[in-house]
């Protein structure tokens, strides 16, 4: 995981701990510069408490656990072991209806998240845009009786959104993801219409809306039985 280097001093000022603060908030998923709130030393471990500094209303606290390791002189370089809470996409995978509808979306989303965690934000944007296209097409196949043929395979994300996302707000955020993802992927490169954090805010809204749609359609099918 790519991190932002910071330095922490021991209470008596004798030792320096060079640690990496996470580059994105696990609660809202946005890229941030974490605000250091508190540091606690427990035997061979260092527990750091951070606060989200994103431009949304998040402001959530999250925690990072480090293994302190061996000192070089009076300097330590602890290794990041774990960040808590887990990100919203980990929670998303608990919905069986979403996994059943589009397991390829879950896989693509996870790969994009891996790119984001290493600070490769343009690559992550391309991955999230691809994940969105997979989810829309799988949704269309399962709930709109669309045949998985070349017509669907080569249908653009723009056409998929216009045809299968009937809710106006769902379509709007879907198009924002498409525009940003295309900007990050296409040549020649042009200036993005908004930054990665704004893109992730739209992506979060889109995924939540699609989860809602999948669960509602699943419920409708169950009630017909």
pLDDT at 225: 66
Better-scored residue on pLDDT, 187 or 4: 4
Q: Which residue has the tokens 């941030």?
A: 32
Determine the average pLDDT of the residues in 120-128.
87
| pLDDT above 90 (res 86) | no
Q: Write out the residue limits of the CATH 1.20.120 domain(s) in the chain.
A: 88-224
Q: Express as a percent the part of the chain with pLDDT over 90.
A: 13
Determine the average pLDDT of the residues in 154-179.
84
Better-scored residue on pLDDT, 16 or 114: 16
| pLDDT above 80 (res 21) | yes
> Is cis: bond before 188, omega within 30 of 0?
yes
- Tokens, residue 93: 């995978």
Phi, psi of 10 (to 5 degrees): -70, 165
Segment 32-84, tens digit of pLDDT: 778 888 898 877 889 898 988 865 557 788 888 899 999 999 999 999 888 87
C-beta of residue 13 within 8 angstroms of C-beta of residue 183: no
Better-scored residue on pLDDT, 214 or 55: 214
pLDDT at 74: 93
What is the chain's length? 225
88-224 topology per CATH: 1.20.120
Determine the average pLDDT of the residues in 187-216.
75
pLDDT at 192: 52
Segment 151-164, tens digit of pLDDT: 888 888 888 888 88
Using pLDDT thresholds of 50, 70 and 90, give the confidence band for residue 18: very high
Better-scored residue on pLDDT, 63 or 150: 63
Cα 82 to Cα 211: distance, rounded to the nearest angstrom: 27
């Amino acid at each position: 995981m790519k991190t932002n280097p910071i330095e922490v001093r021991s209470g008596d000022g004798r030792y320096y701990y060079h640690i990496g603060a996470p580059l994105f908030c696990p609660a809202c998923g946005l890229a941030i510069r974490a605000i250091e709130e508190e540091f606690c030393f427990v035997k061979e471990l260092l527990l750091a408490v951070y606060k989200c500094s994103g431009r949304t209303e998040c402001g959530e606290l999250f925690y990072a656990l480090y293994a302190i390791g061996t000192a070089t002189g009076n300097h330590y370089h602890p290794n990041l072991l774990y960040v808590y809470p887990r990100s919203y996409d980990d929670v998303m995978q608990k919905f069986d209806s979403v996994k059943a509808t589009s397991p390829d979306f879950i896989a693509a989303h996870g790969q994009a998240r891996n790119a984001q965690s290493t600070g490769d934000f343009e690559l992550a944007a391309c991955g999230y845009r691809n994940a969105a296209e997979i989810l829309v097409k799988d949704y269309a196949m399962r709930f709109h009786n669309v045949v998985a043929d070349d017509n669907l395979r080569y249908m653009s994300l723009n056409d998929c959104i216009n045809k299968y996302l009937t809710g106006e707000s769902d379509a709007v955020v879907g198009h924002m993801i498409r525009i940003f993802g295309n900007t990050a992927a296409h040549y020649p490169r042009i200036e993005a219409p908004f930054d990665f954090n704004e893109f992730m805010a739209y992506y979060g809204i889109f995924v939540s809306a699609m989860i809602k749609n999948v669960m509602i359609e699943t419920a409708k099918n169950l009630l017909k039985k």
